[in-house]
Amino acid sequence: MLAVFEKSIGKPPEELSIPSIRSASPLSSSSKCRREIAEIFRSLHPDSSIYNLANGNIMALSHDGENLLHPRSIVVMDDVFCIFVGNLENICELKRHYGLSRHTNEALLIIEVYKVLRDRAPYPPDQVIRDLIGTFAFILYDAKYKNLFAARDRDGGIQFKWGVAGDGSLVCSDSPDIISEACRKSCAAFSRGCIFMSGNGLVSFVHPLHKVRAVIREEDNDSNGKDCTVMFQVDLYTQLPSIPRTGSASNWADATKVIQGSAE
């Protein structure tokens, strides 16, 4: 799977660019733009489904090399796009909880969950994502409201990385080759047990009251230089203010603003 969004929708953490900044090659000369990334994905996966969204944003899915235990699916409904990789062990329970038909797959379930959060949820997103039990990673985009929503399961069972393209766009994919080609060194593993939302950055749904911080590491390489890598970890020693559970009149914007205020 692949998702590439301009930074006005999915602003990448500044720390993702640090490895490229510290390398010998400037970010702009090595990383790709959104159009080039789409062409790379199409060349590697000719049978892929590519959705060209407004302003050059992209979502794409291919079934090449798909793990039968962790299938990939994409659903588009009411201007909401969702790519889901993996499976949910408690999907039957969740379908009953949300009043969905037995034919609902994981991607469609995530869209329904998102719409409940956006329109009438009395609780923030982390509480809902905690109810998802299984091995998964997903990317959801609401074209009407320009909301981007991505998550990875607690154990990191699905390979899922993100990075910064040459034009500053956010790139997410389950293919290390795509991420490496698109972002060069400006990439990292998407933190397990975390969600990323437009305007709010990376938040742990396992430890929602603790900030997720970037850790920069430098290691000596064979050329007598240093390789720089970045990873994101939950800071269990710093607790954020309690996140209040608001009333049913709250919408998606209210919930995300609460998390944003707590993270600052």
Query: Where do the domains of the chain lie?
Result: 2-263
- Cβ-contact 73, 138 below 8 angstroms: no
Where is pLDDT greater, at 23 or 111?
A: 111
- Cβ-contact 140, 111 below 8 angstroms: yes
CA distances from 159 to 180, 237, 245 (A): 13, 27, 32
Residues in the chain: 264
Question: What SS3 class is residue 5?
Answer: strand
* pTM of the predicted model as reported, rounded to 2 decimal places: 0.84
Q: What is the pLDDT of residues 44-82, one digit of tens each?
A: 899 899 999 999 999 999 998 888 889 999 999 999 999
Six-digit token pair at 256?
């995300």
Task: Name the pLDDT band for 127 (thresholds 50, 70, 90).
Answer: confident
The secondary structure of 155-180 as a DSSP string is T--S--EEEE-TTS-EEEES-HHHHH
Contacts of 92 (CB under 8 A, 6+ apart): 102
* Res. 240: pLDDT tops 80: no
* Res. 26: pLDDT tops 70: no
Question: Which CATH code fits 2-263?
Answer: 3.60.20.10
Q: What is the pLDDT of residues 99-108, one digit of tens each?
A: 999 999 999 9
**Residue 66 CB neighbours (<10 A):** 13
The whole-angstrom separation of Cα 138 and Cα 150 is 6
**What is the mean pLDDT of the segment spanning 184-196?**
93
Q: Which residue has the tokens 């390398």?
A: 23
The whole-angstrom separation of Cα 37 and Cα 173 is 11
**What is the mean pLDDT of the segment spanning 204-228?**
79
Provide the pLDDT for residue 246.
43
**What is the mean pLDDT of the segment spanning 171-185?**
90
Q: Which residue has the tokens 């742990």?
A: 204
Question: What element of type H or E holds 238?
Answer: strand 226-239
